[in-house]
Structure 1
């Protein structure tokens, strides 16, 4: 029952040059957009053939990423393995960030395929051989909905390259950012009403953000 896992609302966001109707619609046309389940996570996602880890510490990282690559919603046309820059910043009014994931989508013999890679972990963790972050130990106290204050990250910034890249294989990549767990809205409602949470519903949820894809388009 997917309803039991849904959050209460969501936001759509665009990266526009200015807060004007024209700039916002231009950003929507180029698909430089992302969404969240309701928190105000900030998310940037770029891809390019000349990117590397040194860019992460460059104060001009964003401008260079635009100049030498594409932002979310763009096409990367070539036959080399692209590199990706991911930068996520938490909503100060919500939970810290737990991990950043890259979801790869491609087709094999006409069948759609998907694989999830954890690309950045909070609390000093690193992805294992199965591309998964360790559990960072963040907890939720259902009795009052308080959360761990010593787990998670205010931001996660990373460089990522597909470890299973195939030069001839067309693919798309999008980013998903997960917060530490918090109480689901129905649990908050139950606490305010002084009743036990509905056992048919999830008591906690991980708020998240997800980007528009970047498409890798191989050349002949």
Structure 2
């Protein structure tokens, strides 16, 4: 614990010599669904950075998607896997999605001169919101929106160039 980073990990010039080459970072990602949760639909990497003018940016990359769907070239995003919810009883597709997803992801646009952060976001297949379950139990109209995609996210990994 004496060498741990608070609220995420730093990577870059603060690492001991020889531990960081300036090459694009590579992350191993592994996510598993909760015991009472819907299957996983995709795992995303969110990258944030500040450009030379100090403007902040964020970009979302789909690192791995369920059901054999690959990220589209150019956009880096996966098509919807077709998972659906029956709004008459809130049952959802259990044959689509995955119990676990894993990938090794490399930043395709890495610039070692820019500060950046990365975090992982995991999205489940769609399910009814808790308010929809309550409305069905009471015989009331469904609220808008009736569905949600539950998600989880990691702690950030910070990249700092050149000893800053």
When normalised by structure 1's length, the TM-score is 0.66
Give 2:129's aligned residue.
184
Give 2:16's aligned residue.
none
Deviation at 1:30, TM superposition (A): 3.2
Query: Partner of 1:98: helix, strand, or coil?
Result: strand
Give 1:30's aligned residue.
5
What is the Cα-based RMSD across aligned positions, in Å?
A: 1.6
Give 1:121's aligned residue.
65
Tell me how far apart the structure 1 counterparts of residues 48 and 96 of structure 2 sit (CA, whole Å): 31
Q: How many residues align?
A: 152
8 Å CA contact retained: 2:117, 2:156: yes
Structure 1 runs of 4+ with >4 Å offset:
none
8 Å CA contact retained: 1:31, 1:212: no
Tell me how far apart the structure 1 counterparts of residues 161 and 106 of structure 2 sit (CA, whole Å): 16
Tell me how far apart the structure 2 counterparts of residues 110 and 169 of structure 1 sit (CA, whole Å): 10
5+ residue gaps, structure 2, are: 13-19
8 Å CA contact retained: 1:186, 1:203: yes
8 Å CA contact retained: 2:24, 2:108: no
Over residues 54-112 of structure 1, what are the superposed CA-to-partner deviations in whole Å (9 max), with x where a residue is unaligned? xxxxxxxxxxxxxxxxxxx1111142211001110001211000000000000121111
2:37 matches 1:102:
no
Alignment of 1:190-205 (within 5 A): 190-198=135-143, 201-205=144-148
Greater helix fraction, Structure 1 or Structure 2: 1
Alignment of 1:64-83 (within 5 A): 73-77=8-12, 78=20, 79-83=22-26
Tell me how far apart the structure 1 counterparts of residues 94 and 23 of structure 2 sit (CA, whole Å): 42
5+ residue gaps, structure 1, are: 1-25, 33-72
8 Å CA contact retained: 1:100, 1:177: yes
Tell me how far apart the structure 1 counterparts of residues 104 and 162 of structure 2 sit (CA, whole Å): 24
